[in-house]
Amino acid sequence: MKIKQSEFVISAVGPAQYPEDGLPEIALAGRSNVGKSSLINKMLLRRNLARTSAQPGKTQTLNYYKVNTEVGELYYVDFPGYGYARVSKSQRQSWGKMIELYLKDRPPLKLVLQLVDFRHPPSAEDQNMYQWLSHYGIPMCVVATKTDKVSRSQWPKHSKMIRQTLGMPGHVPLIHFSSETGMGREELWSLIAQSADM
Ligand code: GDP
């Protein structure tokens, strides 16, 4: 996919700040350090557009990036990373509320990319997120990150581990991605373009 332009738009703290132009939105969820910023940068071919915040887990905002591609415009919506140990219970709750509010009532949302680390079994929080998305019937795919760190011979074993731990039916796509090598970039873009009807 060719990217004509990409820019950070807003760190939204609530619905009043979400864009109103109706462009399709692709949301990204995953625990801190899973490789969310790296994936966004790779997809948009930018070196440093998305950055890991200095205090992961503390920024309770939805970060909007506007992307102009050869086939049309859309937003990437980066959720705050979860699973960061040093956040308080109330911060965790406000995270949950904000995400729930967004996911339950956001017509421009076309697809959620749930990122999981290819090396390890999905965490309890990954499983919760997955179940929640499935429960609400939100279109989603699972993106396994850091695949360059797993030797090819181990791929079937790790793919099976992820599908089984999350309880993914065969029709839910599992995309193998690496921000290091660019593997999975075109596959993910095809799915995004298809989901966003571009
Ligand atoms: P975030 O907290 O989810 O935004 O995670 P980052 O994108 O900041 O990545 C966390 C760490 O994992 C950084 O040191 C990245 O360089 C590294 N990383 C992210 N994606 C990959 C990948 O595909 N391959 C490898 N080898 N390292 C990665």
Atom of ligand 1 nearest to the CA of 40: 7
Pairing of strands 72-78, 62-69: antiparallel
ipTM confidence score: 0.99
**16 CA distance to ligand 1 middle (Å):** 31
> What Å distances lie between residue 17 and 11, 12, 37, 194, CA to CA?
8, 5, 21, 27
Of 185, 184, 160, 183, nearest in space to 170 by CA: 160
pLDDT greater than 90 at residue 43? yes
Average pLDDT, integer, range 81-95: 78
The pTM of the whole model exceeds 0.90? yes
Cβ–ligand 1 contact at 180 (below 6 Å): yes
- What the block records as the tokens of 153 is 């011979």
Q: Which residue minimizes the CA distance to atom 25 of ligand 1?
A: 146
Question: Cα–Cα–Cα angle for 111, 117, 65, nearest 5°?
Answer: 40
Pocket test for ligand 1, best of 28, 34, 38 (most atoms within 8 A of CB): 38
**183 CA distance to ligand 1 middle (Å):** 14
pLDDT band at 56 (very low <50, low <70, confident <90, very high): low
Cβ–ligand 1 contact at 34 (below 6 Å): yes
pLDDT band at 1 (very low <50, low <70, confident <90, very high): very high
pLDDT greater than 90 at residue 15? yes
Pocket test for ligand 1, best of 31, 33, 113 (most atoms within 8 A of CB): 33
Cβ–ligand 1 contact at 33 (below 6 Å): yes
Q: Which domains can be identified in the chain, with CATH numbers?
A: 3-195 (3.40.50.300)
- Give the lowest-confidence range in 3-12, 33-42, 82-91: 82-91
- pLDDT tens per residue, range 111-123: 999 999 999 999 9
